[in-house]
């Protein structure tokens, strides 16, 4: 599942348990400043950009409510 996500999206990761040397080989982008990384990513993507935050990483299951 993670590989499918990474084919379509850049995945930024912040964690206290792993250093950049462990995050990069998994094809994630390590970040220290979440707020700064979000601002930078949204600015680079343009005004129509969307953002998904998964606080618990792969233990979170995102969904879109199409009835709203």
Give me the average pLDDT of each 10-residue run along the chain (68 residues): 79 88 91 92 89 75 74
Q: Which domain holds residue 7?
A: 2-59
Residue 15 domain flag:
yes
The SS3 assignment for 17 reads coil
Residue 38 domain flag:
yes
Residue 68 domain flag:
no
Three-point CA angle 19, 27, 35, nearest 5°: 60
Residue 64 domain flag:
no
Q: What is the pLDDT of residue 46?
A: 92
Residue 51 domain flag:
yes
Q: How many domains does the chain have?
A: 1
Residue 65 domain flag:
no
Q: What is the pLDDT of residue 21?
A: 94
Q: What is the pLDDT of residue 31?
A: 94
Residue 8 domain flag:
yes
pTM (2 decimals)?
Answer: 0.65
Q: What is the pLDDT of residue 68?
A: 65
Q: What is the pLDDT of residue 36?
A: 95
């Amino acid at each position: 599942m993670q590989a499918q996500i990474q084919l379509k999206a850049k995945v930024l990761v912040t964690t206290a348990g792993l250093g950049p040397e462990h995050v990069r080989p998994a094809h994630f982008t390590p970040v220290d400043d979440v707020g700064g990384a979000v601002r930078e990513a949204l600015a680079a993507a343009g005004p129509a950009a969307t953002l998904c935050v998964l606080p618990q990483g792969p233990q979170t299951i995102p969904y879109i409510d199409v009835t709203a």
